[in-house]
Structure 1
Amino acid sequence: MIGSFSAGPVANYFGRKRGLMLNNILALIGAVLMGFSNKANSYEMLIIGRFVIGINCGINTGIVPMYLSEIAPFNLRGGIGVLNQLGVTFGILLSQVLGLTEILGTQTLWGILLGLTAVPAIYQLITLPFCPESPRYLLINIDEPKEAEKALKLLRNTVNVSADISEMQVEYEEEQKEEKISVLQLLKMRSLRLPLIISVVMQLSQQLSGITGVLYYSTSIFEDAGIEPEKSAYATLSTGSVMVIMTIVTIPLMDRVGRRTLHLWGLALMILWASILTVSLATKDSWEGSAYLSIICVIAFVVGFALGPGSIPWLIVAELFSQGPRGAAISVAFFINWSANFLVGLTFPLLQKSLDAYVFVIFIILLVLFWLFTYKFLPETRNKSFEEISAIFRRNVNKPDSEYVSIPSKQAATQDNKL
């Protein structure tokens, strides 16, 4: 929560690339503290290490989607943005595998497991220097047009980047008409209120969907459904595997089907399978097959999550805002995301204990509300430039909510024809 709220200021002050590089210092500090806490017999080191690595994760989840959306051509921005979620889901699966009792999930080896956090941090420190800085940051934030053009040529692998420069120049000119926007100013601006509300609700649709409870407590869910304890951990691996596979599937779909459609389909599937899971858990004492149906429901629930709510909230915030307010918007939205994650992680065991088989009824109600909100308010951002997306809200700021819909563009039509 703290790290995500800091992501915008860090990205704007140090830059996207340098901000990510400096953030790896926190990862290394956290890895050392956690990795040696077992040998030092110090729970204080473990707690401090977890705190530091939490800040690192919050900053990463803020800057990485921003950086990817800014370096990608607009017709590939969705697919490239999903690569962020692919990294997250692969990390979850890898941690589930390494955490098995047959590997590192033991009383003597868990310190090594937590210390492995240093590996991706070292990898980033080695590889990030070879990556270009965000051209948008170079041109719009620090007014370095030559460096921006140089970065674009490297990213596009061509010397002809005039179209990208022109599009950024239009955005730059619009930004010059406004003051730099802080979080407090963002919260007060009526013209940015709707995209901010959409961004916040999208974060809540991810974390209050019930997926956090499934990922954190899937092993106990399977055990409650009747799966033997020694087998439940392996059943949990199926959720991580499906997340990775479905995230890969959504990469080409993101820029063909669109964000809005995928999010609606994902939420609908989660509503369906959470309802069936509730019935399955309620009949576990009277029907032997309910245990296996529960596994199918959890896996299908994860499929729906990976189809839309898993990746779209991360990338949609960067798309709904122009360069000026983007950092502040990401700080607010992702702070809400991690706050909701914390809330569900803290309360799900209590809800599970008090509601038993009907614990997912709460999430089903919330999912229905999120589906209705998405259907009514979320515009389609596929194949639109950042300036075109911002124009949707500027043009409609005085119009009724029902008119907040996607506005076609010549560029989008051209891209559709190409596809």
Structure 2
Amino acid sequence: MGEKMTSTFLGGLIICVLAGSFQYGWNVSNVNGPAGFIKEKLYPNLCVDKCLSDADSLEETNPLYGKQCNSTVLEDESCTVEEYTGFVKNQENQFSTAVSMFTVGGMAGSFSTTFMVTRFGRKGAQFVNCFASFIGGAFYVAAYYLSSHYCLLLARLAVGYFAGLATGICPMYVIEISTADFRGKAGVLPQLFITIGILTAQILAFPSILGKASLWGWFMALGSIPCIVWILYSPKMVESPRYTLIEKNNSEQAQEDLQKLRGVEDVSGELAELEEEAAKLKEMLSFKWQLMIVCIAQMGQQLSGINAIFFYTNDIFKAAGFSVETSTMISALVGLENVGMTFVSLAVIEKFGRTGLHVGGNVLMVIFCLGMFLCLKYLTAASFVPYLSIVCILGYIVGFALGPGPVPWIWNSEYFPQRARGPAGSVSCALNWTAAFVVGKFFPIGTVSFI
């Protein structure tokens, strides 16, 4: 084990997933906490403005924060309930469009994976990708100061492109620099850091930290900080030896990089394995079933509705009758559980196998998703039902984090030989992002009636 855990190896793993996967998670969740502030600033509800007296604060009376303007007030102020409902629906539609632009950018980033990892290498592609993150951060800040819906759209598009490309690069890089018996654990790391990014955004969105109307632009832009760490640390990282040997035909550099990764001089055995893999590239066409499996797994990961949980957690819990403050705290609990269960997956993945965790996790998700639906449908049937909805969401996260979260990303890299990984990753990741777009765009339609 000692020869695997060199500083070059550990640094490469951690910095890669921090700068890539962490940001994916951050940008999935960072719209949830400040959603009310964003809607208030970029898509103001004129009926809500009429409900406010000079002494009222927007956070106390805005229905986005849990206290409805009643129909009597609306009519007294020459704003009908129908007009108010129309404003809410329009607000939700514009906001969901901005949220879903993240997935549009993700599709574009996924489709560019093959070109980027072939042209620049795994390490080089992530270096270039960092600039998409910086552009997205700049547009987040501009959206706040300019009160511009279009800047928010561009920000979500840019960070989405970054995330789409990162989801192709990071699993590929961490698995390719790992030894065969460590690849399962290494393959879970991207998903682990996605969950850490989600949790970090949820915690920092607390009103006592950065969850303030005056800070949401800077708060959302904080996701770009890990890219600064990547750029500063990248000179100490090595390129994937598989890429260097098989795609660049540079055996000397591949040997040197392997020696740094393993901490030993004799890496001839591993080099021989890489050369044997290169000799089998002509068999690429026989991998159609593997491609079908990973595509179905990637689409299923998103069509399960997992991103609806992280895009709109607060809305879901408000629909269940909880206050904004309580909803924010429960959201953080969900994020914390997601991180914890990914550690469990990391520990047991070699024991139970990829397929076992994936199937078992999906079964749990179906059970708890059905329970969540029933809880929201019969919310007023008993006083304990809202709390039962929390249990269902927590159980749903357990199922996702065990298998459907990490396993598809591992399959993306393990099922294909070297030069097939880029094209296969592009196709499967693009389908993942397409499914995420559908969920992110159309899920709020079902939640408007709860607000």
Q: TM-score, normalized by length of structure 2?
A: 0.73
* Aligned counterpart for 2:430 among listed residues 335, 345, 364: 335
Q: In structure 1, what is the Cα distance between the partners aligned to 2:175 and 2:324?
A: 42
Question: How far apart are 1:162 and its partner, in Å?
Answer: 2.0
What SS does structure 2 have at the residue aligned with 1:117? helix
Q: In structure 2, what is the Cα distance between the partners aligned to 1:275 and 1:57?
A: 30
- The equivalent of 2:399 in structure 1 is 304
Does the 8 A contact of 1:76 with 1:255 survive in 2? no
Q: In structure 1, what is the Cα distance between the partners aligned to 2:138 and 2:324?
A: 32
> Per-residue displacement from partner, 1:281-318 (whole Å, max 9, x unpaired)?
23311111001111011011101100001111112111
- The equivalent of 2:412 in structure 1 is 317
Q: In structure 2, what is the Cα distance between the partners aligned to 1:16 and 1:192?
A: 22
Does the 8 A contact of 1:266 with 1:305 survive in 2? yes
Q: What number of residue pairs does the alignment pair up?
A: 344
Q: In structure 2, what is the Cα distance between the partners aligned to 1:233 and 1:294?
A: 15
Structure 2, unmatched stretches of 5+, are: 1-106
Does the 8 A contact of 2:319 with 2:447 survive in 1? no
> Per-residue displacement from partner, 1:341-382 (whole Å, max 9, x unpaired)?
01011111224468x8xxxxxxxxxxxxxxxxxxxxxxxxxx
Q: In structure 1, what is the Cα distance between the partners aligned to 2:143 and 2:313?
A: 27
Q: In structure 2, what is the Cα distance between the partners aligned to 1:161 and 1:231?
A: 55
Whether 2:222 is the aligned partner of 1:127: answer no
What SS does structure 2 have at the residue aligned with 1:106? coil
Whether 2:144 is the aligned partner of 1:49: answer no
What is the aligned-residue RMSD (CA, Å)? 1.7
Aligned partner letter, 1:322: P
Structure 1, unmatched stretches of 5+, are: 182-188, 357-419
* Aligned counterpart for 1:261 among listed residues 326, 350, 356: 356
Whether 2:131 is the aligned partner of 1:25: answer yes
Q: In structure 2, what is the Cα distance between the partners aligned to 1:216 and 1:115?
A: 17
Q: Could you say which structure has the larger radius of gyration?
A: 2
Aligned partner letter, 1:33: F
Report 1:20-99 matches (<5 A): 20-99=126-205
Q: In structure 1, what is the Cα distance between the partners aligned to 2:327 and 2:148?
A: 30
Does the 8 A contact of 2:315 with 2:447 survive in 1? no
> Per-residue displacement from partner, 1:141-167 (whole Å, max 9, x unpaired)?
010111111111111111221221111
Does the 8 A contact of 1:242 with 1:302 survive in 2? yes
Report 1:4-403 matches (<5 A): 4-175=110-281, 177=282, 189=285, 191-352=286-447
Aligned identity (percent) is: 37
Q: In structure 2, what is the Cα distance between the partners aligned to 1:48 and 1:226?
A: 34
Aligned partner letter, 1:260: T
**Cα pair distance change 1:120/1:296, threshold 3 Å:** same
**Cα pair distance change 1:172/1:306, threshold 3 Å:** same
Q: In structure 2, what is the Cα distance between the partners aligned to 1:342 and 1:47?
A: 14
Q: In structure 2, what is the Cα distance between the partners aligned to 1:47 and 1:228?
A: 29
Question: How far apart are 1:50 and its partner, in Å?
Answer: 2.2
